[in-house]
Each structure stands twice: as structure tokens, then as C-alpha cells.
Chain A
Amino acid sequence: DQQVKQNSPSLSVQEGRISILNCDYTNSMFDYFLWYKKYPAEGPTFLISISSIKDKNEDGRFTVFLNKSAKHLSLHIVPSQPGDSAVYFCAAKTGTASKLTFGTGTRLQVTL
């Protein structure tokens, strides 16, 4: 049972344009959401997060939006840069539990 879903396995965006990565979840108990970025041969690195009490969190070029009623979150990268090319994982956690539930990832390629 995939509780966190990333339905787009890949995305290609031109440098300078906006990248939008989407994530859906089914477990209404999730109250904290994260995006991780992963380069080849490296482990995932934390990018940005959002609590369920917010609907937006911004950090530089990265903004995460949360729509609780739709159980949907998205990551916006503006402007996209070639160094952003990586696999992006959406993850979620519940309450005081530390374990993360990950989506299957979206491979972003930013082209020149």
C-alpha cells in the first residue's frame, strides 16, 4: 500500500523555468511533509519541509505547497538550474514517530 505517491517518474524543464514536482498521500494522519533530493551514488539530502498547520513554506528558490483537503503537496523550484537535476523524493511522517514514508521519486532534468 503506497501511502505516498509520486505519479510522475520524470520531468524535464528548461533552465530558468519553473519546475513543479507533485506528491499525493493517502494517510490523513501524516502531519509533516518533506522533500529530499538525491544525486547518483549519494544518499538523499533534506531540501525543505512543511508542517500540516501551514499551506506554504519557502526557502530561497524552493517553495512547498500543501493542500490538505486534496492530500496533495508540490515542490516549486524557481528558477530551475542545471544543478537541480536529481531525483526528488517526497516523504511524510506522523506525530511523534520519526520514521519517514517515502514516495517513489521523480527524476528532474534541467536542460540548458
Chain B
Amino acid sequence: DSGVTQTPKHLITATGQRVTLRCSPRSGDLSVYWYQQSLDQGLQFLIQYYNGEERAKGNILERFSAQQFPDLHSELNLSSLELGDSALYFCASSVGSPISLSYNEQFFGPGTRLTVL
């Protein structure tokens, strides 16, 4: 158990809908990352938050947005869903710092499997 929790574990929805994925980081971790893993693909970095502020952005679609709340949990919002959005969405957390010269290990949650029909 990494200490990172994600809800829900599974989500099935229809095209055009909007969903919210939730992530609770490990106790004490300030950084939260979101990754998307499509079928047979590696994990693609979407976005990082550090202590409530957006820190880095990857190839995140405009239909997707995220935020980190004062209690440090994070939510990833996916709207106008398309079939191609079906994927595993992982959240990771790390102790983090705004800029780190060394690697702060990222601990991953179990993921949310999103299926868009």
C-alpha cells in the first residue's frame, strides 16, 4: 500500500459526459501528479500540483482540468468525454518541492479505470 488513495476504482460513463477523479496523497506529501495510461501505452504525464498551485503541465487536453485543495487532495475533471479517453488514470504524490535538484520518489495510487462507452 503506497498510502495514495484514488476513488473511484472503476468508472463507466457515456460519451459527452463529465467525470471527476479524486486523489488523496500520502500524509505529508505536498506534490500531486496525474498520469494517463491508455491501452498498451506508457504512463503519460498530465499535470502536477505543489501545495495547491499548478507546477507543471504535460499533454493535458483542454477538456481536462485539475486542482489541488487546501487539504492537499486533488481532483481531475474530465469533460465532453470521448471514446479515446478510456484509460487508467494514476495519481502519484511526493514530498516534493517547487524545484528539486534530486529526485523525490513518486508514490502511485492504484489508479482509476475509466471506460467511456
Contact = CB atoms under 8 A, between A and B. Distances in A.
Do chains A and B stick together as partners?
yes
Interface of A: 2, 4, 6, 9, 32, 34, 36, 41-46, 49, 89, 91, 93, 96-105
Secondary structure of the B contact surface, majority rule: loop
Contacts of A97: 56
Given A98-B56, A105-B42, A43 B103 contact: no
B52 interface: no
Given A44-B108, A97-B56, 14 more contacts: A2-B42, A43-B2, A43-B111, A45-B107, A46-B105, A93-B103, A96-B101, A98-B55, A98-B96, A98-B100, A99-B58, A101-B42, A101-B45, A104-B42
B106 A100 contact: yes
Interface size class of B (residues with CB under 8 A): 20 to 34
Contacts of A102: 35, 42-44
A96 B31 CA distance: 14
Interface of B: 2, 4, 31, 33, 35, 40-45, 48, 55-56, 58, 90, 92, 94, 96, 99-101, 103-111
A96 B50 CA distance: 14
29 contacts: A2-B42, A43-B2, A43-B4, A43-B110, A44-B90, A44-B108, A45-B108, A46-B106, A89-B42, A93-B103, A96-B100, A96-B101, A97-B56, A98-B31, A98-B33, A98-B48, A98-B56, A98-B94, A98-B96, A98-B104, A99-B33, A99-B45, A100-B43, A100-B45, A100-B106, A101-B42, A102-B43, A104-B40, A105-B42
B42 A103 contact: yes
Give 5 closest A-B pairs by Cβ, nearest first.
Answer: A43-B108, A102-B42, A102-B43, A99-B45, A104-B42
A30 to B, nearest CB: 12
Contacts of B45: 99-101
Given A41-B110, A43-B2, A46-B105, A96 B41 contact: no
B110 A44 contact: no
A32 B101 CA distance: 10
